[in-house]
Amino acid sequence: MTVPMSRSGHTGPLGKLTAEIKIRTDEDTKEGLERMARSAGLSLAEYVRDLLMVHAHGYEYVASLYAARLSRVAGLGAASGSKEGTLP
């Protein structure tokens, strides 16, 4: 069984992650989220972070951030000074 590392080494499309949210939940909810994270190949923190981003900003916007980032990595995107995929 492969266990994902706590950090993948990838930065988020919104840049450095400095804000912190702490919550408490019941064990069943935590275990369910851990199962979903494993199924997605993500750590629990990455999964919950992406889930929160989608709910806060909308699926289309978050998808465009990741697409813009992937295009830049592949050398297909706009110049690094582009404002594409930045928060209003």
Domain boundaries, the chain: 27-73
pLDDT in tens, 8-52: 555 667 788 899 999 999 999 999 999 999 999 999 999 999 999
Q: Please, is 41 exposed, middle or buried when counting C-beta atoms within 10 Å of its C-beta (0-12, 13-18, 19+)?
A: exposed
What Rg value do the Cα atoms of the chain yield, rounded? 15
Q: Round to whole Å and give the CA distance between 33 and 22.
A: 15
pTM higher than the cut 0.75 = no
pLDDT in tens, 60-86: 999 998 888 888 888 886 554 444 455
Q: Round to whole Å and give the CA distance between 81 and 84.
A: 9
